[in-house]
């Protein structure tokens, strides 16, 4: 016995044991459970038992023997009846050609079984020389017919059956295809393919797991190749077919005679290269081939997982935040989904009609007439139609849609897709005709409708963000205006006090001089307030620089002189890293509050020193003071004030400005004993005016 024959016998024994075990397992499973998962469970067990019986014949008599071929008819008969019981039902009956094929194959199997068994019983091994070719021919006919039945069953299953039975059917097809291949190679070469025939038990053993997969309901949704794997498989099959054609052409040329083999191979090679070059150079033929493959090789036109990932990636991969970039991405995503080379995106204008806002690879800029009327937009929104413009051009569309003439006249326009967000149309996309034009089917309509809704969510989010940004700008303007109203109130109080004092002291030269200075300061502050209302006003931290503290305190003292004389104490040459206007605003607010909280005869002090590497400015009064609870819970909150006419914004604004410059405000106060507000600011370099002694102070009444 050769090594290959020994391997074949081992594989036959393993297959016999495996199928016997699967048969017992199928028979011992609960019948209700097996019937729920697998139609015709008894015929499945019968097919497994018959295959195990056939494997035993291979073990005893060897592949290709007349005995094994007789037993093979039993296996084929069980497999055929399982296919008939599984793939066809009363609701989806078998077609007439398939019924004829099934009856013919069953008849061949029965006749072969009866004649083969009778011949062996009568003549024994003497009938084997002439029986083997006849039995092999009958087996090939049954295998080819079985492949046709599997194909018909697969088509029937693709119409609605989602069961794991396709695994067993694929196993049957693999076994029959292998047997046909053995006989075909033998017929072409004139010799028996002994090596392939000896490996037949191994192929049968490979089909064993399909029974387990089917009975266990592993993968109820049918297992399918991905489009990438299927495309590569088709390429490999195409290459193999090309090689077979070349070989057959050469063989035929040699049989006919003459030196035509090389010529025939050269012609075949030139034809193949020409077809490949045509596909590479022409986008139209590539698109046509894509449509043909999608239509005839796949159950669905779209690979939904891959298309959806590409669609969402296109929508989310913007290199900018501007609206035009998003509009272009939406047009591109919808166009790539259907293979369109270009697209237009239309948005509603002020009059309600839709105008072209962006385009992606649309040749030529649309003119001013490229609009969609309010009536058309309303009808598209109400009906949610995806308009096939070719249907409209043939006059078979709906007149209520009122598609504009410029779209009908432009034959490049293919489909109109409404982009709806919660029943509200926020955009319209016009897709350009693909290279291989085709009519839209239900799958195209569903994909475009869902993709339009997804794109609408991106556009709606962009519009919401834009509206939120505008609301924030209005909110910022209102917040600034509220703070400025607080400062205007203080200026109004100061000017009102100045007017009342003018009635009594207008004849005094010193008072008139102070009044003119105060009015100049007030006018300057009003101008500053108007600048602060500007939308592009920079914050105090952006304008910070080296600031001498003493001149700022002197200006504040001069502005407050009509109301109260301030006691200013400032370390000589003290400089802070801050903004002059911001520091003036904070200290002036603190001084104003100190004056309001204290009696007219009590002093208000402003002291500035360098301490712990920072500038410390204290505003001290002997007024009514505040409780600790008020300081902790109420003082720095907006719209909270102890004054009857106060806005409650001064302390909040002062703290915000101080923090923006890297500073802080601290408060120490007791009811009836006054308050001490401390402004901390970053310290700049100190250049004293008295020889470099930073501890020297200038103190006086201002």
pLDDT, residue 575, reads 93
Which of 377-381, 621-625, 642-646, 676-680 is the least confident region? 642-646
pLDDT, residue 690, reads 38
User: According to the per-residue pLDDT averaged within each range, which of 8-12, 157-161, 263-267 is highest?
Assistant: 8-12
pLDDT, residue 537, reads 46
Q: Where in the chain is the domain with CATH 3.30.565.10?
A: 543-701
- Cα torsion at 245, 249, 250, 253 (round to 10°)? 170
pLDDT, residue 639, reads 64
Question: How far is the CA of 615 from the CAs of 542, 548, 654, in angstroms?
Answer: 19, 11, 16
CATH number of this structure's domain 3-223 = 1.20.1070
CA-CA-CA-CA torsion sign (134, 135, 138, 139): negative
For residue range 425-461, what is the model confidence (pLDDT) as tens digits?
A: 899 999 998 876 777 877 888 889 899 999 999 888 8
Residue 568, Cβ neighbours under 10 Å: how many?
19
What is the rounded distance in angstroms from the CA atom of residue 426 to the CA atom of residue 224? Answer: 38
Q: Name the token pair of 48.
A: 């497994």
Residue 192, Cβ neighbours under 10 Å: how many?
14
pLDDT, residue 253, reads 61
Which of 130-134, 266-270, 353-357, 511-515 is the least confident region? 266-270
Residue 604, Cβ neighbours under 10 Å: how many?
25
582: confidence class by pLDDT, cuts 50, 70, 90: confident
**pLDDT reading at 200 higher than 90:** no
For residue range 325-350, what is the model confidence (pLDDT) as tens digits?
A: 888 999 999 998 888 889 999 998 76
What is the rounded distance in angstroms from the CA atom of residue 652 to the CA atom of residue 585? Answer: 12
pLDDT, residue 227, reads 57
pLDDT, residue 275, reads 66
**pLDDT reading at 394 higher than 50:** yes
Residue 350: HSE in the Cβ half-sphere, 13 Å Cα cutoff? 0
**pLDDT reading at 15 higher than 50:** yes
536: confidence class by pLDDT, cuts 50, 70, 90: very low
Mean pLDDT of the chain: 77
The verdict on domain 543-701 having CATH code 3.30.565.10 is yes
**pLDDT reading at 531 higher than 70:** no
For residue range 622-655, what is the model confidence (pLDDT) as tens digits?
A: 988 988 888 887 888 776 666 665 556 678 778 8
pTM, to two decimals: 0.44
**pLDDT reading at 478 higher than 80:** no
Q: Where in the chain is the domain with CATH 1.20.1070?
A: 3-223
């Amino acid at each position: 016995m050769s090594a290959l024959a020994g391997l074949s016998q081992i594989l036959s024994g393993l297959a016999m044991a495996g199928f016997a075990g699967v048969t017992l397992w199928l028979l011992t499973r609960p019948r209700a459970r097996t019937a729920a998962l697998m139609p015709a469970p008894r015929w499945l067990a019968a097919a497994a038992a018959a295959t195990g019986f056939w494997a035993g014949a291979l073990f005893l008599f060897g592949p290709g023997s007349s005995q094994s071929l007789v037993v093979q008819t039993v296996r084929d008969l069980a497999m055929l009846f399982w296919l008939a019981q599984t793939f066809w039902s009363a609701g989806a009956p078998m077609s007439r050609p398939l019924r004829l094929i099934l009856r013919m194959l069953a008849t061949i199997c029965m006749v072969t079984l009866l004649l083969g068994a009778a011949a062996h019983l009568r003549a024994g091994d003497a009938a084997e020389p002439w029986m083997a070719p006849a039995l092999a021919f009958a087996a090939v006919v049954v295998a080819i017919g079985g492949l046709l039945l599997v194909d018909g069953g697969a088509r029937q299953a693709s119409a609605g059956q989602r069961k794991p039975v396709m695994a067993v059917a694929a196993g049957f097809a693999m076994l029959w295809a292998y047997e046909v291949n053995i006989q075909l190679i033998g017929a072409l070469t004139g010799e028996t393919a002994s090596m392939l025939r000896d490996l037949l038990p191994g192929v049968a053993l490979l089909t064993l797991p399909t029974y387990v997969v089917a009975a266990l309901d592993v993968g109820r949704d049918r297992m399918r190749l991905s489009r990438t794997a299927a495309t590569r498989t088709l390429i490999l099959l195409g290459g193999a077919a090309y090689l077979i054609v070349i070989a057959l052409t050469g063989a035929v040329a040699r049989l006919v005679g003459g030196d035509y083999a090389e010529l025939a191979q050269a012609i075949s090679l030139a034809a193949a290269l020409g077809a490949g070059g045509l596909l590479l150079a022409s986008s139209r033929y590539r698109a046509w081939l894509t449509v043909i493959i999608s239509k005839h090789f796949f159950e669905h036109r779209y690979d939904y997982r891959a298309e959806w990932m590409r669609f969402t990636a296109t929508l989310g991969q913007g290199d900018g935040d501007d609206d035009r970039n998003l509009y272009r991405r939406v047009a591109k995503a919808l166009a790539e989904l259907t293979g369109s080379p270009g697209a237009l995106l239309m948005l509603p204008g002020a009059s309600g009609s839709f105008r072209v806002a962006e385009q992606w690879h649309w040749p030529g800029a649309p003119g001013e007439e490229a609009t969609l009327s309010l009536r058309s937009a309303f009808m598209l929104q109400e009906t949610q139609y995806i308009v096939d413009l070719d249907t409209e051009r043939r006059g078979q569309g709906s007149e209520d849609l009122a598609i504009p003439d410029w779209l009908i006249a432009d034959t490049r326009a293919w489909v109109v897709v409404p982009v709806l967000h919660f029943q509200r149309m926020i955009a319209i996309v016009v897709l350009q005709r693909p290279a291989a034009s085709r009519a839209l089917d239900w799958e195209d309509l569903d994909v475009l409708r869902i993709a339009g809704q997804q794109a609408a969510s991106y556009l709606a989010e962009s519009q919401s963000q834009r509206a939120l940004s505008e609301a924030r700008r209005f909110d910022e303007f209102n917040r600034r205006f509220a703070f400025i109203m607080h400062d205007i109130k203080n200026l109004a109080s100061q000017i009102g006090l100045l007017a009342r004092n003018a009635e009594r002291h207008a004849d005094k030269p010193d008072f008139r001089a102070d009044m003119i200075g105060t009015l100049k300061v007030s006018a300057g502050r009003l101008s500053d307030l108007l600048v602060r209302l500007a939308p592009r006003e920079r914050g105090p931290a952006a304008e910070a620089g080296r600031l001498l503290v003493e001149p700022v305190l002197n200006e504040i003292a001069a502005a407050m002189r009509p109301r109260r004389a301030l006691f200013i104490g400032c370390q000589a040459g003290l400089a802070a890293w801050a903004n002059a206007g911001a520091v003036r605003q904070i200290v002036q607010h603190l001084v104003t509050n100190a004056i309001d909280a204290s009696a007219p005869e009590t002093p208000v002090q402003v002291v500035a020193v360098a301490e712990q590497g920072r500038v410390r400015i204290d505003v001290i009064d002997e007024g009514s003071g505040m409780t600790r609870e008020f300081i902790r819970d109420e003082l720095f909150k907006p719209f909270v004030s102890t004054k009857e006419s106060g806005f409650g914004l001064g302390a909040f604004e002062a703290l915000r400005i101080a923090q923006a410059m890297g500073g802080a405000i601290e408060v120490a106060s007791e009811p009836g004993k006054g308050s001490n507000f401390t402004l901390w600011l970053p310290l700049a370099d100190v250049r004293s005016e008295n020889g470099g002694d930073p501890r020297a102070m200038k103190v006086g009444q201002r």
